[in-house]
Amino acid sequence: MQILFFIFLLAICASFIQRVSGFGFGIFVMIFFPLFLPSYGEATTLSGLLAGSTALIIAIRYFRDIEWKIMLPLLLINIVTSFFAIEYMTTLSNEILKKCFGWVFIAIALYFLFLDSKKRARLNWASKGLLGALSGIMGGMFAMPGPPLVVCCINSIKSNIAYVVTLQAFSVFLNIFYTIFRARVGFFNENTILWWAVGLLGAFIGSWLGERLFSHISSAMLRKIVYTLLLVSGIFAIV
């Protein structure tokens, strides 16, 4: 019951952050899921299922604004690299994965806290391909494919609505494949469906709260808090 309560509570917080700041669901829950779920692989599976499910609502609502030409090539590259990343995960111990995860946490936190910029720069297809592959590795091993895709999309998509909904569509499609790949190696088990159902209930509540408090909270400040917590968690995971 304690596990169910923590999943429910974290899903509320993560979906609230997602609704207010536009992204960050998977990043937030993965700070905590590996601490109390039985294995790291199960933590990434649950995170991906919940992130994809919450993104589905926005993707359906703004379906016409999805930038398919930008998304599809990156999606294919991501799927291929994530397959091998998930296969490789099975050869590593939980301790090694958590230490790797800690370094990834620190890198992401530092990027978003200090280096993230709204300035657009042109990316060629080689750069986009590398970002897509990096996203596949991060998505497959750490349930966080978003940061490289954010870099790519913010430099390729001019419309704010199209930018947001394309990222949500990425999340939906990627997490379908990630779940299939993870189930293949045993990370999806009899507990996952119950955890997923409880997490979805929390996610709906968090989205509802975020919808009503959206205009009263600074998304910039919320992001700072989340990424500072991410930085601390990364250091903790390594030490």
State the Cα–Cα distance between residues 215 and 38, nearest whole angstrom.
38
Give the pLDDT score at 88.
Answer: 87
Domain containing residue 169: 2-238
pLDDT in tens, 91-147: 877 778 777 777 877 887 777 777 655 555 566 777 778 888 888 888 888 777 877
pLDDT in tens, 32-91: 898 889 888 899 899 989 988 888 887 888 888 898 988 898 899 999 999 998 988 888
**H or E element that contains 148:** helix 146-154
DSSP string of 95-127? HHHHHHHHHHHHHHHHIIIII---------HHH
Type of residue at 180: I
Count of structural domains, the chain? 1
Cα distance between residue 48 and residue 142, in whole Å: 10
Which amino acid does the sequence have at 129?
A: G
* Strand extents, DSSP E, the chain: none
